[in-house]
Every structure is written in C-alpha cells, then in structure tokens.
Amino acid sequence: MTFASIEFLFYFLPLFLILYFAAKELKTRNVILIVFSIVFYSVGYTPHLILLLASIYANYRLALAIDQREGAARQRVLILGVVGNALLLAVFKYTGFILQNVNVLLEPLHAQIPVPAISLPLGISFYSFHAISYLADIYKRRVHANRSLMEFTLYMCMFPQLVAGPIVRYSSVARQLGERRTTWGRFSAGARLFVIGLAWKVLIADEVARLADSVFDATTNPTVLEAWAGLYAYTIQIYFDFGGYSAMAVGLGVMVGFTLPRNFRLPYAALSITDFWRRWHMSLSSWLRDYVYITMGGNRKGPARTYANLWAVFLLCGLWHGASWNFVIWGAHHGAFLVLERAGLGRVLKRLPAAVSHLYTVLVVMLGWVWFRAETVPEAIDMFEGLVGVNGLSGQSTAFGFGLHPLSITALVVGGLIGFWRWPRPKVLSGEGLLAASADYAMVGVLMLFCVLWVGGGTGTPFLYYRF
C-alpha cells in the first residue's frame, strides 16, 4: 500500500482518522496507530512483519540493558545492538550482492556459490537506522530507554515514516509518544502538507516517470537530446517523488500530533555539493554525520583523515541506498566533490557568481543521478556517451516519443520552476484573514481534486525509495 493509492486515500486513511479521533485516551490512540501501522506494513508482504516485530522487541530489550549498565558492560551491549542491526540489514540487503561478486572472483576456478533469493523487507534500511540511533543515544546518555513497549513500538513502526522515512531520532518524538494533542490548526496544516506532497508525487513525479523510464530502460545508444531529456526527467522525478513522500509523511505526523523532521529544503537551489547535502534527505545526511562521520573522528584529526572520513561516509551512503556497484560509484562521486570543496573548491565557489555555482551544483548532481538510476555500469556508460554526443544529436526513438507528451512536458516545466528556484509566496496566500485562508483552502482543494482524478486513473508508480 502506498500513500498515493485508492486503497489508502479512500479506505485506510479515512477509517484510521475516524477511529483515532473518536478515541479520547492517548493510550487508545497509540494502540489504534500501532494496529493501523501493522496493517499498512503487512499489506506489502506479511512474513516481513515478523522480522519488524522481532527487531522492535530485540531493540527494546537491548535499550533497557544499556540503560541499566555502566562502563565496559554498557559498551558491550551497545556493540551487540549495533552489530545485530547492521547484520540484519546486511543479510537481507547485501547477501546477494556479496555472493555475486565472490562468484566473479571464483570464475577462473570454475567454482560458484549458490546465490539465495532473499527478498528485501520493506523499510528495513530506515527502521534499522532508527534502532541504531536510539541505542547510541541511550549509550551517550542523551535519552533514557523507554520502558513502555507500546510507546517504543509506536516510535519504530508508525506508518507515516515506517517505509521510507524520514529517519526520526527518538529524542525528537520522545515526549510526543506519551503526551501530544492535535488542534484544528495543526490538523489542517498537516493535511495541507499531505496534499501538496501528494500533488508532487502524482502530478509531477509520475508524469515525468515515463520519459525517464523510456530513456534509461528502453532506449539504446541515446542521442544528446534523448539523454539530456531523460536525465532531466529523472532529476525532476526523484526529487518530487521522494520529496512528495516526505511531505506526506510529515503532514500525516502533524495531523496526529507528531512533529517529524523536515527532509528537504530546496536541494536543487544549492550553490555547492556541501550545501546540497544540507538540503537533500536531511534526516539521512545528519544521521551519517552524527553517528558515522563524527564517530570516525570527523575533521578533528587533520585534513587527510577528514577527506578519508568524508569519502568513507559517502561510500556507506551509496551502499545504504542499494546493493550494486552503481550506488557505490554514486556515493564515491558525491564524496569526491565534497572532498574537493573541503580542500579549496568551496572557497572558489563562494567567490563566483551565484548563477555559476548553482549551475556547477546542478550539473554535478544530475551526472550523479546517472549512476543512481542506471541498473548496471555499462548502462550508465551508455548514458554518459549519449550525454556527450557520441550517438548523435537528435534522432528520436519510439520509446522516447511515448514518454514525451503534453502532460509530461508541463510537469517538466512546472517541476523545474518549483525545484530549482525559490519563489516568494503569493500575497493572496501569505496574508492574514478570510481572503488568504479561503485562497489557501481553495488551492489545496483543487490540488486534491486533480490528485484524486490522477490516482483514480491508475497511472501512478510506486515510490522510488520503497526500493531502499
């Protein structure tokens, strides 16, 4: 089940909201939220629910054990918890990748290791990182272990953020698990954010998806026109798909009284790659900074160690996104530019006109998306050849023509205008009083109407970050 589906919008969400707000006691509301979260998750593949619940209980017990111990014993339990969560993620996400690469090395010996077919549990990358940060924060005495299994279960599995984030620190919602309230103003603000995120997903991301797919999946030897159009389409798609999901998740959280972390802040308006990572998938980048980069020494041990730490963190970032060499290269790509900017390029960018720094950032990010989107290294190289004109300038494949249509062109233009520049809020929406409120509600209502029509048409695509 996804947020942008008929089942969620017309059945799951209305029923949840009716039951949730009909309950007066917070404990009852927590139970309702947990039950609906379990149903939401189990619709995808029920056996993976057992893994999620086992992870929740194991981390609940580990957290209590850390909180009750001191010194070396406390550290041993932390190591056990971190290694256990990392192994869980590694077994389900990286076993096939590791064995495939081992088999490549074994080919000269005419030996092969069977590669088991292990399905990736939905959201495991996110809830594993939730658990690791929770245990680490208890170890560092930033928070105490929650002794309520129900509240901890709610933290780990509430459906707005369970499947694709944002990555929520326990400290940011600890108080809200046991004490929160929802006003009409907060509920309407959350609903507004949800609708905007839904519009980003179905009206922009899904409309440009066919063009991106037609170039990356169905066009061989793309020309310059095809390659750049497909890459631009994917650049728009991934931002409005993942950004739309994050906005919906945060909006749903606000509707029921939770304040979830913001995940995007106009990343394509950044003026450097360093700035980009302060704006893109902010909950992941801050998680990697606080729990990996700083733990490795950060920038405290000299320039060489700082550069190595940055690169190592972004290799991990690439692997976190997926078990393939393309993701590793994507992480190395961003790590390389972060190192260059730390070494001096960043100072140069600050002295250049903002338009030049902006163009540099957009080009680096877009070229990185080639590695992120292509399924294999040869496919990525084929795309790069198209971008530099090896396959000619124009020419148009049948698949490319199918993906390029009036709605996708409109979505490309609107997505670019929204995504790459900051615009002042229209005065009619930014003022106070009845006129501004009416205009705002009208805008949200029109967006919701269009979204319902698009979702009802059945042309949507799954969220991209469901893969991770």
145: Cβ contacts below 8 Å, ≥ 6 apart: 63, 64, 66, 67, 138
Angle between helical axes of 124-139 and 47-68 (0-180°, round to 10): 10
**Angle (nearest 5°) at CA 468 between 215 and 62:** 175
The Cα-based distances of 263 to 192, 245, 467 in angstroms read 17, 10, 18
Round to whole Å and give the CA distance between 275 and 361. 9
270: Cβ contacts below 8 Å, ≥ 6 apart: 276, 278, 279, 280, 358, 361
In terms of residues, how long is the chain? Answer: 468
358 is catalytic: no
Candidate list 48, 130, 281, 321, residue with the active-site label: 321
Query: Do residues 309 and 298 make contact, with C-beta atoms less than 8 angstroms apart?
Result: yes
What backbone phi and psi angles, to 5 degrees, belong to 146? Answer: -80, 120
Cis before 166? omega within 30: yes
DSSP at 466:
G
- Listed residue (152, 159, 192, 204) closest to 174, CA to CA: 152
Residues annotated catalytic, as ranges: 321
